[in-house]
Amino acid sequence: DADVTQTPRNRITKTGKRIMLECSQTKGHDRMYWYRQDPGLGLRLIYYSFDVKDINKGEISDGYSVSRQAQAKFSLSLESAIPNQTALYFCATSDSRAGRGANVLTFGAGSRLTVL
């Protein structure tokens, strides 16, 4: 089984619908992240969480919300999806206790979202 699991892997939805992308990890890492990838724009940080009680906005948080339900689970929600939120979404984790390992992100396989 993958260390970082994202569901769904692919989703097509319509404008205005609420969408939740889920992420779970078995690595025991304390930090979790949600990134969005668009062609030519690299990976942009949406939200990040350093522990269950800590949620922080990233570069592009507008239109998104997150929930850290447990150390192992971090979900991303689009309350009312719009077409320009069509993108590939990645969840990632890191371990703050690992020294330089705090700079090592482990990514999930990605969730491809299409908003029509």
Partner 1 sequence: GQSLEQPSEVTAVEGAIVQINCTYQTSGFYGLSWYQQHDGGAPTFLSYNGLDGLEETGRFSSFLSRSDSYGYLLLQELQMKDSASYFCAARDNQGGKLIFGQGTELSVKP
Contact residues for partner 1 (CB under 8 A)?
Answer: 31, 33, 35, 40-45, 48, 50, 56, 58-59, 90, 94, 96, 100, 102-110
Of 63 and 110, nearer to partner 1 (C-beta) is 110
CA neighbours within 13 Å on the CB side: how many for 25?
28
Q: How far is CA 104 from CA 1, 28, 54, 94, 101, in A?
A: 20, 14, 20, 6, 5
Least separation in angstroms between residue 87's CB and partner 1 is 13
Least separation in angstroms between residue 31's CB and partner 1 is 8
Least separation in angstroms between residue 44's CB and partner 1 is 8
